[in-house]
Amino acid sequence: MSKQLFDVHVERVNENANQQPEFDMKAVAVSITEDGQLTIQGEGGKSRSLSAWGSVTITRVVRGSE
């Protein structure tokens, strides 16, 4: 059974001038808590958590037979 994969594009609220205003990431899971914390679980165990973000676009990736 293969895992689902998602392309995630995040546009952030820029609280810090050193932050990237937006980024893209391949993800196996995305969650948003009641208080607005966004967590993206990437491939290979890498994850990012953000409290300041503006919008998120999630696109499901269809994998062909490999």
Q: Residue 44 gets which letter from DSSP?
A: G
Average of per-residue pLDDT across 13-38: 87
- Residue 47: pLDDT band (50, 70, 90) is very high
Confidence of residue 4 (pLDDT cuts 50, 70, 90): confident
Long-range contacts formed by 27-32: CB under 8 A, 24+ apart: 27/58, 28/3, 28/4, 30/6, 30/56, 30/58
Share of the chain above pLDDT 70, in %: 83
- The per-residue pLDDT for 2 is 64
Quote the pTM value: 0.79
